[in-house]
Each structure stands twice: as C-alpha cells, then as structure tokens.
Structure 1
Amino acid sequence: MRDHSHHIQLTREEAVRQMLVAVDELPGGFGWCAGEVAKRSAVERVSVLEACGRVLAADVRARATLPTCLTCAMDSIAVRFDAFEAAAAGGALPDTTTWERGRDWEFANTGTAMPAGFDTAIVVEHVTFSEDGERVLAVDAAPSARFAGTRPAGSSMREGDVLATAGSVVSPDIAARIAGGNVSTVPVTRRPRVAFIPTGDELQTPGSPFVAAGKNIETNSVLCQLKVEGWGGIFVPFQTVRDRPEEIHAALAEACGTADIVVLNAGSSKGSGDWSCEVMEEMGRVICHQTNHGPGHHSSYAVIKETPVVGISGPSGGASPTMDFYLRPLIRHFLGLEAVAPRVSARLMEPFPAAHAHGHKGARVLGRPLPGEKRPLEDGPDGFFAIRFLNVAPGPDGTLEARPVAGGPGSAAVAACNAYCMVPTGPGVEPPQVGCVLQVGFR
C-alpha cells in the first residue's frame, strides 16, 4: 500500500497564498514563463468591440481633443449673448419678430458646432417659431451668461487624457468612452490557456449511445470549460486519461508545455488507481496534497515545468466549489485582478440541515464508533470544515440574510443556490446557530 503519511494539508487560504507566491517567483513572472515551450506574450491588442470583459494591460489615452470647437449642448437656437445681456440682468426680453435666420439666429443641434458668429444657445422649448420655421416669433427665457448652452473645445477630453486605467475590466460604458477618444484598439492581458485533464478508467463521454456497466459520465470538462470561459480564460480540453502513472505523466508533460494553467481532475485520493499526487511529486514541486475542507478534501496544488497545476478531486458537486476556490484565483491573478473575491457578512436565518457525522481517526462520534462507510477526518492543526451552501438575499432592513439549502453537492437545490460558507465540523463541534453572522462567499 502506498504511503500517504507525508501528504501536506493546508487551509484554503494558505494553499492559495503559497501558490500565488510560487507563480510570482517563476522566471519572468506568471504569464511570462520561459519554460520548455516558450509562452506567448501576456499582452495582446484587440479591437474595442472585442474588448468588453477583458482586462486592460495599460492606460488608454485619448487620441483627440473633443469637442474640437465650441459646440451646442442641446437642441437649441444659436444667438448672440449681446442681444440678451439686458434680459439676463433682469430687463425685458428682446423683440425677435424681425430677426432673420442666419443673421440674428440659427438652428444649433446637440453636439454640432455652434454656427459662426454666435456664442450662446437657448433650448428650442423656450422658442416659438413661425409655421415655416424661418422666424422666431418669441423667446420666453434669457440665457444666464455668454456661452450658456454650449460646450467649449476640449471640455469632454483632451488628447493624451487617460480614458481608462490599466487593470480595469472593460465594460460597455468604458468601451464607448475609449471609442469616443478616437481609439479603435486597446492592449489587454492575454487570456490564460487552461488545460483540463480528466483521469479515470470509469469515465465515459456524455452523449454516448449507452452507459456501459461500471462506467460514469465525465461531466467535469463541461463544468470546467464554462467556468474557465466565464472567468476570462481559454479552455484547452484533453482526452480522458486512464489510471496509469505513465499516461498521467505524459498528459501532464504535454499540458504543462502548452498551457498557462493545468487542471488535473481526480486520481488524487487513496484508491489503488489514484496516481495523481505521486506523478506530480515526481515531475515537480507539490505545494499541498489536500486541504482541510470537504467536499474537495483531496484538492492539490503543484508547479510542474514552471506551470501551476490544480488538482481537483471528485465529481462535479465537489469539483465545482473547489474550482472556484483554487482555479479561479489563478486565472484572476494571471489577468492582473484581485485573486480572491472578498467574503461578506450575512445573518443566519434558519438552522443548517443535519449533516453526516464525521470524526477524527480512531475517534468515536456521538458516543458510537465511526461507521465503516464514513471517511475519518485527517488530523490537522487548523481543524476541518464543511462547505455548506446557502441562498443569500437582502432582508427588509437591507441586511443580508442567509438561508441554508438542503441536499448534497450536485443536488438541484445546491446547484441553484448563490452562496456558501465554511462551517467547522468534527466531534463535539456545534453548527452555527440561528442569528449568528456568517462570512459567506458568492458563487
């Protein structure tokens, strides 16, 4: 039997911290690795239309001064302020019945240059026109000052002004502002290529004509692809690898030579066919073999050929939160974003549904021996935590309220919920009580 006693167990936070330190120490920095296969530059230029959702790699500056001249701010008539100076000071409005279009007034529409010779605008709602629109019969309001109703040259932006800063995620509004500065392309951080390697003799492709005896459907590639693309990465699928050390080694070598991040799925527990940890130890540096929470206890981190490798255990119900915990921070770090999303406070409004009893090695649980079908928790200095799933929404007073959902990972209720929290578990540990404040993360 293989010896797992040397396996490193870390908390979620410590595992992520150590991995981020490790990738920052790679030659050239994360995303600029000069490994066995040269990686492409971590910056690329795309059109503004393709930039939405991308992270700017540098400040974007205006290439024009706008407006280019005195411009009308709204649909108006252009006038000379001298004609209204007395009215602006409290006197009578001028008689406009003899005014001629082009000499005494002119139409001036929003965003257009003020007609030559005119310096002030009055919105059309204050003007009464003749039926043919050629004469101003009356004006019922005076402009407040010279240049009222206009925008001076350069009032929106000047050439060289920063339109958006490096590290910003381009939104439709930011894209429109950039385009408004006469900019058509922008530098963005390249999307990281994320290779996904599923392992297991029992896996079968979704959509097969029938499910063979003893086979399971491989669904984590679907889960991983949608998460990676939603987080801003490029998904690189690999064929399912059998539980053979040499095949896992070959797949990892290929993936680490072509991708920025590798996800190795399963084969990380203590079954006779689980070889992921041994292969990663042979090929590179293992940061942790497992973490102190479940589901996802056998989640791991390693660096192989200057490429971070995320070991994700289990079926989709457990793989989903652990991809959130360990893969998403790496993608965000590669893109130059804050790696870990902050947690928020929410008040527990209902009791947690009963969970399965767990205990430490050799311990009795609730006065009874640990059942043989229950996996014992592995000793660790930081305790062990269960991921519990919640629906979080504002209450009547605006305070966030958390309501636990029943069902295990992968169930319909859990798949539909929007948040999670980490709850300490083990012999004699009481679950959080109604009314307490939880630290929750959104999914």
Structure 2
Amino acid sequence: MISFDEAVRLVAGTARPLPAETVRLAEAHGRVLAAPVVAQVSSPSADVSAMDGYAVRKAGLDGLPASLRIIGQSFPGAGYPGQLETGTCVRIFTGAPVPDGADWVMMQENVRCDGETAIVEDIGSGPHIRRVGSDFRAGETLLQAGTLLSPRALVAAAAADIAELTVHRRPRVRLLATGDELANPGAARLCAGAIPESISFGVAALARQWGAEPVGSVRLRDDLAAMQPRARAACEGVDLLVVTGGASVGERDFAKTMFGDALELVFSKVAIKPGKPVWLGRVGEVLVMGLPGNPTSALVTARLLLAPLIAGLTGRDPAEALRWRTFPLSEPLEAAGDRETFSRAKMEGETLCLLSNQDSGAQKMLVAADLLVRRPAGEVGLAAGETVQVLDF
C-alpha cells in the first residue's frame, strides 16, 4: 500500500498527453492547445477611433471655438478614402479607421454641428486613437501550447484570425460497474435486494468536467467467467476504463482478476480514507483505474486521482486538478487515524463546516459537500482557528 503523495506522483507520470487533432474554433472550448496560437493579423490592423466623434488635425485647432468643414464619414470596415487637410474633419465612429492626415479624435459631445460645419468648442483630452498593433502584432504568439481554452482564450484566438486550433485529443472513457446488487436507476425497486447503480453517473460527469469524453457504461454481474470477455471488450476503442466496485478481497471481488494476465498494475492500494482500494493499471495501451464500490469513496477517489489523470491526458498539468489551499477551522477536529483522511465539508458563508455523516456509503451528504479537508495520518487534534488544507470537491 502506497501513500497518497506517491499515488499522485504515479498518476502524473502515467498521464501522458494524447495525440493532437485539429478542431474548429467553435468546438475548442475546454480543450488544451497542442500548438501555440500565432496571430495572423495585427490588432488593430490600422489606427482606429476609440469613440464616436470627429477626426481632425490637432494643429489646426489652436483657437477655439473653431469651425471645420465635414468632408465625409468613416465607419468600421468602410473608412474615409481621402486625405484630411487642415480646416476639415471627418465624422468617425468607434472602431473606424482614422483617415490619412488625422491625428486626433474629438468626442462628439465637444462638437456642435451646423449643416456641413462642425464647430469645435473643446478639444478634449484625446487623442482617442487605438494605434495599429497596440493590442498585438501579426506573428506574435498569443496563446502557448498547454493553454486550457477558456472563453477568454477563444476571444484571443479568434482575434488572431484563426479558424482552427491544434488541440490534444479528449480521452475516451468508458465506465464499468461491477456487482450483483446493481440495477438501473428506476428499476431497482422492482427487484428484491437490488440497489440503484449511482456511481457511474457521478464519475462520468466528473470525467467530462475534467475534459474527457465518456462513451457509455457497462454493468457486470460478479461472475468471473462471464466478466472476463466483457472486461476485455470494454477496453476496445477507449483510452481509459474506469471500473467501480469489486476491488476488495471478498470472494466475489473480481475487478482486477477479470483482466487476467493482461493487467499491468501501476499501484493496487493507497493509504487513504475513504478510498483505500483504489488502483491503477494498464491493459495494453488502455489505462484502467479501479474505484471503490461505495459511492462516497468512489467520488472522493475520483476527485483525488481520476481528475489529475484525465487532466494529464488532455495536455494539462495534472497538478492543476489538485490545487490545495489553507482555510481556518470553525470548530475543533479530533485526531486523525492511521491513514491520510479526506473529510467532506461545506462552506456556510465564510465558515468551513465538516459534514456530520462521513460514512463511505453516504450519498445524500454528497449533495452538500463542496470541499475535501485533508488530514495527514496520525495528525493530532486541531483547535478552532487552526488551518487545514482544502480542495474544491
């Protein structure tokens, strides 16, 4: 049995980014760049007005009020084609090209119009011109490889005049739930002794949240002979298989043995609570992670170890999935046990509150839990006001 930190290290070393593919800009949200984004244009591509007003030559406005002849208009995408001379001005709108010869844009609030004449009463603070390339220049790298494409990053990529992006492929993930007692939600009440299979729905959602592409789920009864061919078939066409249940040492715990000699283990148990039975291995090129069969244990271990695994496969740093921060306790905590413990907690205003039910099979309490509190093995009791490490759950 290994420590949590060792398990994280092994996960990070296993989670190699998947190969790159090209996707349209509209499909790139949440993907990770495999190649940098280099601007194909400058922004702005010309000197443009920063507001609605009048483009002028400042040198011709020494005495105010001044009367200027309006010789045309400049709109975004349709600038004034001629040359601006002293004593003239051009009506201009935000984002429109500044005419040749103009070096100042006056706010329209400082100008009074009389037919074809603009009467300038106040030159203003100006110049209200966005210079060519003042945002970025053609050839400039705007986004580095490894960038997670957020809505803000997509704005920059589109502004660079890029229609397609090179990103890491999403890992295809299949869920495989084991257990004679499991039934589809909605049907469990019709079968004596059955319980709804709930874990795969939460794990699939978590996988999608961290950038994976879930491709369905399989449910297996605890019959080793029947499980073996289906377990191998479940590995086809995916990058990652997540197995839930069957990871302990009971007579019908076949989560590992159903793969036979094809399974190469990376680790088999982790000294954490909840989630000790979590394991990681490979079947050929397919990664296989085994999660406990208890719902809370499964979700906690998925957050702690599956999330960084998926993050690494998508091209992100696995450490991004484990951003711990410190937070003061609002109430005392008793001493920790002999395994590193991750307790479920919630925020109430500015107060950190541990949930009353920490049972590994609890499901109702998962609704309230939005934090995991990390306690090292053997840690002494803590008083209110002392700090603990917490992770968004």
Q: Structure 1-normalised TM-score?
A: 0.78
- Separation in structure 1 between the aligned mates of residue 156 and residue 12 of structure 2, nearest angstrom: 34
Query: For 2:327, what is the secondary structure of its paired residue?
Result: strand
- Separation in structure 1 between the aligned mates of residue 377 and residue 145 of structure 2, nearest angstrom: 43
CA offset digits 1:196-243 (Å, max 9, x no partner): 111111111112274311111111121122111111111122321121
Q: 1:437 to 1:219 in 2, by over 3 A?
A: same
Contact 1:280 1:286 in 2 (8 A): no
Query: For 1:239, what is the secondary structure of its paired residue?
Result: strand
User: Which residue identity is paired with 2:110?
Assistant: H
Structure 1: tracts of 5 or more residues without a match: 1-8, 32-41, 359-382, 396-400
CA offset digits 1:277-311 (Å, max 9, x no partner): 33456322222222212221211111221322111
Worse-superposed segment, 149-158 or 294-303: 149-158
* Structure 2 match to 1:384: 339
Identity of matched residues, %: 26
- Counterparts of residues 256-271 of structure 1 (less than 5 Å): 256-271=235-250
User: Which residue identity is paired with 1:349?
Assistant: S
Contact 1:81 1:143 in 2 (8 A): no
1:138 correspondence with 2:120: yes
* Structure 2 match to 1:52: 29
- Separation in structure 1 between the aligned mates of residue 26 and residue 374 of structure 2, nearest angstrom: 40
Offset at residue 343 of structure 1 (A): 0.9
Q: 1:143 to 1:347 in 2, by over 3 A?
A: closer
Match of 2:332 among 351, 357, 369: 351
* Structure 2 match to 1:79: 56
* Structure 1 match to 2:66: 95
Structure 2: tracts of 5 or more residues without a match: 72-86
1:208 correspondence with 2:177: no
Q: 1:424 to 1:55 in 2, by over 3 A?
A: closer
Offset at residue 247 of structure 1 (A): 3.3
Contact 1:199 1:241 in 2 (8 A): yes
User: Which residue identity is paired with 1:119?
Assistant: D
Contact 2:189 2:195 in 1 (8 A): no
* Structure 2 match to 1:323: 302
- Separation in structure 2 between the aligned mates of residue 255 and residue 302 of structure 1, nearest angstrom: 15
User: Which residue identity is paired with 1:19?
Assistant: V
1:304 correspondence with 2:283: yes
RMSD of equivalent CA atoms:
2.5
Q: 1:424 to 1:116 in 2, by over 3 A?
A: closer
Q: Which has the higher strand share?
A: 2
- Counterparts of residues 54-203 of structure 1 (less than 5 Å): 54-84=31-61, 87=62, 92-96=63-67, 99-102=68-71, 104-130=88-114, 132=115, 134-141=116-123, 148-203=127-182
* Structure 2 match to 1:43: 20
* Structure 2 match to 1:365: none
> How many pairs align?
374
Query: For 1:201, what is the secondary structure of its paired residue?
Result: coil
- Separation in structure 2 between the aligned mates of residue 183 and residue 104 of structure 1, nearest angstrom: 39
Q: Structure 2-normalised TM-score?
A: 0.87
Query: Runs of 4 or more off by more than 6 Å in structure 1?
Result: none
